[in-house]
Amino acid sequence: MRISIIGLGLIGGSMAIDLKKRGFANHIIGVDSNNLHAHTALHIGLVDEIGMLENAIEKTDLVILAIPANETIRLLPKILDLVKAQIVIDTCSIKGNICERVKYHKNRSNYVATHPMAGTENSGPWSALSGLFDGKAVIFCDTEESKPEYLVQVRKMYDFLNMRPLFMNAFNHDVHAAYVSHISHISSFALALTVLDKEKNEKNIFDLASGGFDSTVRLAKSAADMWTPVFEHNSDNIISVLDTYIEKLNEFKDAIENNNSIQINDLIQKANRIKKIV
């Protein structure tokens, strides 16, 4: 299959590697508005050629959008204007506003809404990794809106990436993504801000950071351009989870302030239940 990948960052680049290596794609055209990213992707062999958007779509069978949510919302309708028999997918961490944006587009059925739940805190084509998606979940949304034969092709593509398919509507996707992914990022960004604020001497952080801190603060290295539009486009769900999160932190604070070791112990033991799940 001939594939266009729009956005040659961590996600687009990692898909390029494994779709080519595992034989799903035989030719990949990369498109990126950032020239450095485009040329790097070509230079390190992620893509076979670099093209302009219209030309790339015309020459390929499947178009993968791997760009931030706000750009996806802007670009997806334009791409659907251009398609004939091409399949179009996106990879964003929010689905509601994207599906809403193209709901009445004449070529809506060429589009399959997907969210491959994989990533690292790094970005750019130099961060692309083989195996990034292996064993992770991919969520398909509102599949009744897509042509069944296109859905079959996209499922096959994610099979080549060894992903576990899950199906839900865009609304439910955004609720769950807020709980399981978006709040983790905010908790980590806020942790980094706290430590940077409190520890004026950065050398102390460097010297003292242990594996535990590294692990909780890892996501705070994630790109602002990617995450800002996610928080904007899933604001209601995120605010609701943030409220609960702040509530739980206040429960800890109260227990610690009152020197109530039974309550602290109880909160920790309840949190420990996560062990059985992940």
Q: Is 276 exposed, middle or buried (0-12, 13-18, 19+ CB in 10 A)?
A: exposed
Instruction: Find the binding residues for a copy of itself in span 161-190 (CB under 8 A).
Output: 164, 166, 176-177, 179-181, 183-190
* 134 backbone φψ class: left, alpha, beta (φ>0; ψ -120 to 50): beta
Q: Least distance (Å) from a copy of itself to the CB of residue 247?
A: 8
- Cβ distance to a copy of itself smaller for residue 52 or 209: 209
- Residue 200 near a copy of itself by CB under 8 A: no
- Cβ distance to a copy of itself smaller for residue 36 or 193: 193
User: Residue 72, CB half-sphere, CA atoms under 13 Å: how many?
Assistant: 31
- Residue 257 near a copy of itself by CB under 8 A: yes
Residue 260 in tokens: 């109530």
Instruction: Please say whether the beta carbons of 145 and 173 come within 8 A.
Output: no
Q: Least distance (Å) from a copy of itself to the CB of residue 88?
A: 24
User: Minimal CA–CA distance to 19: which of 44, 48, 57?
Assistant: 48
Angle formed by the axes of helices 235-257 and 224-233, nearest 10°: 100
Tell me the sheet residues that pair with 139: 115, 166
- Cβ distance to a copy of itself smaller for residue 33 or 260: 260
The pattern of x and - marking residues 220 through 239 that bind a copy of itself according to CB under 8 A reads: xxxxxx-xxx-xx--x--xx
- Residue 55 near a copy of itself by CB under 8 A: no
Q: Least distance (Å) from a copy of itself to the CB of residue 109?
A: 27
Instruction: Find the binding residues for a copy of itself in span 69-88 (CB under 8 A).
Output: none
Q: Total binding residues for a copy of itself by CB under 8 A?
A: 94
Q: How far is residue 51 from each of residues 28, 41, 69, 173, 254, measured CA to CA in Å? A: 10, 12, 22, 33, 58
- Cβ distance to a copy of itself smaller for residue 8 or 226: 226
- Residue 274 near a copy of itself by CB under 8 A: yes
- Cβ distance to a copy of itself smaller for residue 26 or 250: 250
Q: Least distance (Å) from a copy of itself to the CB of residue 164?
A: 8
Other Cβ atoms within 10 Å of 84 Cβ, number: 8
Instruction: Find the binding residues for a copy of itself in span 84-143 (CB under 8 A).
Output: 117-121, 136-137, 139
At 250, which amino acid appears?
N
- Cβ distance to a copy of itself smaller for residue 84 or 259: 259
- Report the alpha-carbon distance of residue 232 to residue 223 in Å, rounded: 15
